[in-house]
Amino acid sequence: MNAALERIEGASIPTFVVDTRAIAERVVADEIVALMRTRPTAVLGLATGDTPIGVYRELCAAHRAGGVSFARATTFNLDEYLDLDAGDGATFREWMQEQFFRHVDLARENAHLPESKPADPNLTAERYEAAITAQGGLDLQILGIGRNGHIGFNEPGSSRDSCTRVVRLHEVTRSDAVRAFGALARVPTRAITMGIATILDARRVRVLAFGARKKEIVRRTLLDPRSSACPSTFLRDHGDVKLFVDREAAALLHHAR
């Protein structure tokens, strides 16, 4: 692997420290490009939020340069808010549209997110899980970690064997989302998320965490007891997971320089 990646020996999840987030974004994007070239029908698990934004920027640039096609790919996003109107600028579908979908040749019908205002949210969640299974599962999942340890919207208390389902959002998650909604009262209280088992079933999981605001949760992810109290600790169960952190997010890992 790249010399700019410093591996933390003995970490409970294979962890790589980078000087700048751009290095990690490039490494993950390059891995996705390589996957798309060897397997044009790959099934990608996608994430929204500040964390993965640079990975999409790199993928769009690679596509523009003629280096990668998503024409035969399928994507499933981790999660979507409930109770927002379709087309509401705050939905994750709109976010994905802006950051990735509209810049690449992915077919709209192959870009999956749970619906935001379905008639029957539980049925929508069940069908979403079934659709992932029907595609043969996820080849590679991109993942961020919430400050409370959530992965997707699997908030503290989520079980290791959870599947796609309707969840209530944790107050830390809602207050972190105020940036996108402007006011806490506007942040939805419910979402549909892939479960922890859904995420861990992906054949590869690539996790990113950047900035000082993630240093405590990075420490907990690697060092806390493996439990539902901190869902990201379950990433230790995965056989092909990599965690990329910048120096600020690694600040509480004393074995990192």
- Give the catalytic positions in this structure: 79, 148, 150, 155
DSSP-assigned letter for residue 143 = E
Residue from 6, 50, 126, 216 in contact with ligand PGA (CB under 6 A): 50
Give the distance, in angstroms, between the CA of residue 130 and the centroid of all CA atoms in the same chain: 19
Nearer to ligand PGA, 69 or 180 (CB): 180
Window 149-188: contact mask with ligand PGA (x via CB under 6 A): -x--------------------------------------
- Told to check if 6 binds ligand PGA by CB under 6 A, we report no
Q: Considering only residues 49, 118, 137, 156, which one is a binding residue for ligand PGA as defined by CB under 6 A?
A: 49
Rounded to whole angstroms, how far apart are CA atoms 132 and 134? 5
Q: Are 164 and 193 in contact (CB under 8 A)?
A: yes
Quote the least distance from Cβ 144 to ligand PGA, whole Å. 3
Size of the site for ligand PGA (CB under 6 A): 7
Judged on CB neighbours under 10 Å (0-12, 13-18, 19+), 89 is exposed
Q: Which is nearer to ligand PGA, 4 or 180 (CB)?
A: 180
- Tell me how far apart the alpha carbons of residues 2 and 82 are, in angstroms, rounded to a whole number: 40
- At position 151, the amino acid (one-letter code) is I
Listed ranges 44-52, 130-138, 156-164, 199-207: which one lies at the site for ligand PGA (CB under 6 A): 44-52
Q: Which residue in the set 146, 149, 188, 195 belongs to the binding site for ligand PGA (CB under 6 A)?
A: 146
Pairing of strands 15-18, 241-246: parallel
For the record, the structure tokens of 55 come out as 């990975």
Tokens (6 digits) for 69:
């096609």
| Cβ within 8 Å of residue 112, ≥6 positions away | 74, 75, 76, 77, 128, 131
Q: Which is nearer to ligand PGA, 18 or 68 (CB)?
A: 18
Q: Which of 15, 51, 75, 164 binds ligand PGA (CB under 6 A)?
A: 51
> What whole-number distance in Å separates Cα of residue 166 and Cα of residue 115?
12
224 binds ligand PGA per the rule CB under 6 A: no
Instruction: Determine if 144 is a binding residue for ligand PGA (CB under 6 A).
Output: yes
Separation of CA 171 from chain center: 20
Of the candidate spans 46-54, 60-68, 85-93, 181-189, the one that interacts with ligand PGA by CB under 6 A turns out to be: 46-54
- Contact set with ligand PGA (CB under 6 A): 49-51, 144-146, 150
